[in-house]
Chain A
Amino acid sequence: MTAQDIIFYLLAAFTLVTGFLAVTTTKIFRSAIFLLFSLIGIAGIYFWLEYEFIAAVQIIVYVGGIVVLIIFSIFLTQEAGSNLPDTALSKKITGGLAVVFGFGFTLLQVLQHKFIGTTEQGIEPNVANIGNRMLGVNEFGYSLPFEVVSILLLAAMVGCIVIALKKPAEK
């Protein structure tokens, strides 16, 4: 077992343990913090896979954006220190059974399936290649989805403002 393997196992264990704590802890603020650590662990796995740009985007968007948004909404909607009501045991059992069986069957499928990859020379996933592809209009370009996502983000931003806007008091 090389040092690289040990680092991967540590990152995977960190991600899974903090993810599990995030969905099972009773205090909602702690849950958000555990989610933050889980997302950082996934960014670490991206770094381990040598996809540095994706790892940086993961940290900026998820850790810096979404988790902060979630924490603000926790502060706006409830007392952060209080415990959440405990879920019913029957719900826990049915959810746990569904998850265990789903996990087992999917794991069986993945371990039995033989993946056949390409043997061609790979492309370095660096920022120059990503930028050229993302704004390219040729065969391998992604400029149409890029524009669609831009419109989606604009629409989502306008929609958020309209939904969350306080209605003016009626005269």
Chain B
Amino acid sequence: MTGIGLSHILVVSIALFFIGVYGFLTRRNMIMMLMSIELILNSVNLNFIAFNKYLWANKMDGLFFTIFIIAIAAAEAAVAIAIIINLYRSHKSIDVEDASDLKF
């Protein structure tokens, strides 16, 4: 029996989540913010898998949540990058401070 339990994995995923939040709050480049979101989504996936393994091993709900989150994250990243490329064409910059056309 190994000494690593659920709480060890939860600590890792919490740390990864807040690393992603830090990146999202401090970086102003849109691609950097997208990468931070990927880190946050990965920490959530790790949480689901850990809960599935250690608490509800008789069901597969966490595993399917993870699979669907991965699929949705792929779609989200593709749409975000399409928007970023379109923004770059019109503004010649992907800094969020420069994208202020809708600002009142």
A interface with B by C-beta (< 8 Å): 1-2, 4-5, 8, 12, 15-16, 19-20, 22-24, 28, 31-32, 35, 38-39, 42, 45-46, 49-51, 54, 57-58, 61-62, 65-66, 69-70, 73-74, 76-78, 84-85, 87, 91-92, 94-96, 98-99, 102-103, 106-107, 110-111, 115-118, 120-123, 125, 129-130, 133-134, 140, 142, 145, 149, 152-153, 156-157, 159-161, 163-164, 166
Contacts and interface: CB of A to CB of B under 8 A. Distances in A.
B70 A125 contact: no
A28 B25 contact: no
Nearest to B21: A99
Contacts of A65: 74
A69 B20 CA distance: 19
Given A5-B2, A54-B67, A157-B78, A70 B22 contact: no
Interface of B: 2-4, 6-12, 14-16, 18-23, 25-29, 31-32, 34-36, 38-39, 42, 45-46, 49-50, 52-60, 63-64, 66-68, 70-79, 81-86, 88-89, 94-95
B57 A123 contact: yes
